[in-house]
A and B are shown apart, each in its own frame.
Chain A
Amino acid sequence: MKIEATQFEKAILLKVSGRMDAENAGEFDKACDLWISQGAKHLIADLADLQYVSSMGLRSFLAAAQKLKSLSGSLALCGLKGLPRQVFEMTKLDSLFPIYETAQQALAAL
């Protein structure tokens, strides 16, 4: 898994690519915690190049979204497709996140 962060005026875009599993999901937690500790309120996870996510990855998305919600912020998702999209749908987590087709749409919605 690779995480690339880009800072925009209203949000931090985290492009997550590869496979997010039990061994590496903690890296996403750390990336989110780092930006939250620096004052970020809105994070956008671009998952267009994410090929695989297990329940440990879902925990990380959920934990970050809950932290941001308590700060009146948000974690939005974009580019969700393939197995990751199915996993979000099977667990009904897709109803708990703002989901957009593209990062531009997610940024425009803030």
Chain B
Amino acid sequence: MGSPFERLSLPAKVESVRLFHEFVRAGAEAVGLGSDDINKLDLVLEEILVNIARYAYKDGAGDVQVAYSVDAGSLLVEVTDQGPSFNPLDSAPPDLALGLADRPIGGLGVLLVRQIVGSLSYSRRDGQNTLSFRFPAPGPIST
């Protein structure tokens, strides 16, 4: 049983990402993450939050919530928005074999998230999208 979830809601904007980074810092320190792992956690959060900031709300206005709980030496993190149903995990992975001229600019955020956290889950409930993951990932992925 982990600690109760700490929650913060802010406008879904790129400018909010740094505030969310500061918010999860207490949890990261509680589980003893070093600076390398904190940077990786920041990266995962940035990728998820920027995606939401750019795509979740057609009219540009809406909130996103980050929640975390300290559980068994790691963090359980949930990121929730109220945009239309959208599972970023369904998006096709970018073709990493393409050469420089043909490489699309973009589509790498979800790939980075998957590589760093290993597995993450998506749910749609009560009109909300929630992505959740454990950090550090169990196993060798987050070394």
Contact = CB atoms under 8 A, between A and B. Distances in A.
A90 B47 CA distance: 14
A83 B36 contact: yes
Question: What secondary structure prevails in chain B residues at the interface with A?
Answer: helix
B12 to A, nearest CB: 12
Question: What secondary structure prevails in chain A residues at the interface with B?
Answer: helix
A55 B105 CA distance: 10
Nearest to B114: A90
Interface string B24-44: 000000000000100110110
Interface in A63-88: 63, 65-66, 69-70, 82-83, 87
B140 interface: no
A51 B105 contact: no
B47 A69 contact: no
Q: How many A residues touch the partner, as a band?
A: 20 to 34
B14 to A, nearest CB: 5
B14 A69 contact: no
B46 A59 contact: no
A37 to B, nearest CB: 19
A65 B43 contact: no
Interface in A11-64: 21-23, 51-52, 54-56, 58-59, 62-63
Contacts of A82: 36
Contacts of A90: 111-112, 115-116
A14 B40 CA distance: 25
A83 B40 contact: yes
B72 interface: no
Q: How many B residues touch the partner, as a band?
A: 20 to 34
A92 B50 CA distance: 22
A52 B101 contact: no
Contacts of A91: 94, 96, 108, 111-112
Most chain A beta-carbon contacts within 10 A, residue among B17, B47, B99, B112 = B112
A22 B46 contact: yes
B109 interface: yes
B43 A62 contact: no
A3 interface: no
A96 B109 contact: no
Most chain B beta-carbon contacts within 10 A, residue among A63, A70, A90 = A90
28 contacts: A21-B17, A22-B50, A22-B53, A23-B14, A23-B17, A51-B39, A52-B42, A54-B43, A54-B46, A54-B47, A55-B47, A59-B105, A62-B100, A62-B103, A62-B105, A63-B105, A65-B100, A69-B100, A69-B101, A83-B36, A83-B40, A87-B112, A90-B115, A91-B94, A91-B96, A91-B112, A92-B97, A96-B100
